[in-house]
Amino acid sequence: MDKRIVVTRTVPEAAVAVLREAGSVHVCTQDGPLSPAELREAVRGAHAVVTMLHDRVDAELVEAAGPQLEVVANVAVGYDNVDVPAVTERGVVVTNTPGVLVDATADLTLGLLLMVTRRLAEGERLLRAREPWTFHLGFMLGSGLQGKTLGIVGLGGIGQAVARRARAFGMDVVYTGRRQAPAEVEAELGARRLPLEELLRTADVVSLHCPLTEQTRHLIDRDALAAMKPTAYLVNTSRGPVVDEKALAEALREGRIAGAALDVFEREPEVEPALLDLDNVVVVPHLGSATVETRTAMAELAARNVAAVLAGEEPITPVR
């Protein structure tokens, strides 16, 4: 029997080619996310669904697809959009795309860090506005990174890659997380594990690389921001709801921290309006994995997961 594979939004052709070897492929080509009702309608009769991070995958979606559904392949490393227990208890495999986006996201994190600490976005806005300017020794001074402390929240693959890059800039590394990193990783990075409260008090830059869970939602709230140095910066390339954006805007406006750089937002694609009015904020539209190579690799990994499950084999990167 020809198996039906639904892809909820366009993906690179290389991934579609892999899927065609596994079944009959339907790609939703709309310009934007499907509504919940549209998504349920699109997946009816599907044996496999390739989803994006904005697609809510829950029991209702599985029921809409039907009893023949075998696998949901999420094109993201995070899977907070998937109710994993509700899906897997119905016998459906859930997969994600870890590993392939580590370097791209780490590169972007350092880019954001440089943008906010050296005021690069602010300087570009000044020139594009055709404002008059002249060079002098006090003009648009930023903050250097050498000898400063980077506090990483979540020392997984991406956090470690960020730490390696930060070490090349002469930064010291501290981290916090649910578990201790292996001794060899700590030794390589010169990293010390601290409780979150101490990390917030210590770090000159706090960089977020934790998954979104009920425990990490609004992890950076008003109290956490109050614990940070007034000269410190916050960088978020994990998930938007890890940060309370209203509290962040208030802290930035009042000078309680020096600046923030955000790639992800609480209510994507919306951005807290108060943040957009501040010069000490850098915002970019979820570009962490946005290279041709990385996005292609993510889609291909999702496709290979689908092909494996539909062939009766073990998935490559299952979510347990």
Strand partners, 49: 6, 72
What is the chain's mean pLDDT, rounded? Answer: 97
* Integer CA distances (angstroms), 136 to 120, 127, 144, in order: 16, 16, 18
Cβ partners under 8 Å of residue 149, min gap 6: 171, 172, 173, 174, 202, 203, 204, 205
pLDDT digits (tens, 9 = 90+) for 216-261: 999 999 999 999 999 999 999 999 999 999 999 999 999 999 999 9
Catalytic residue among 119, 286, 295, 304: 286
Question: Is this structure's pTM higher than 0.85?
Answer: yes
* Integer CA distances (angstroms), 112 to 8, 93, 196, 215, 217, in order: 30, 35, 22, 26, 22
Segment 110-117 mean pLDDT? 98
Residue 130 is a catalytic residue: no
Catalytic residue among 122, 198, 250, 268: 268
Map out the domains of the chain with their CATH numbers.
4-98+292-310 (3.40.50.720), 102-283 (3.40.50.720)
pLDDT digits (tens, 9 = 90+) for 23-61: 999 999 998 999 999 999 999 999 999 999 999 999 999
> How many CB atoms within 10 Å of residue 306?
30
3-state secondary structure of 73: strand
Closest CA to 171 of 187, 190, 155, 188: 190
Catalytic residue among 9, 47, 165, 239: 239
Residue 218 is a catalytic residue: no
The pLDDT of residue 320: 85
Residue 1 has pLDDT above 80, yes or no: no
Strand partners, 208: 153, 236
Residue 26 is a catalytic residue: no
pLDDT band (50, 70, 90) for residue 138: very high
Percentage of the chain exceeding pLDDT 90:
99
The pLDDT of residue 94: 98
Segment 129-137 mean pLDDT? 96
* Integer CA distances (angstroms), 135 to 138, 139, 167, 190, in order: 8, 6, 31, 38
Tell me how far apart the alpha carbons of residues 80 and 100 are, in angstroms, rounded to a whole number: 18
Segment 3-14 mean pLDDT? 97
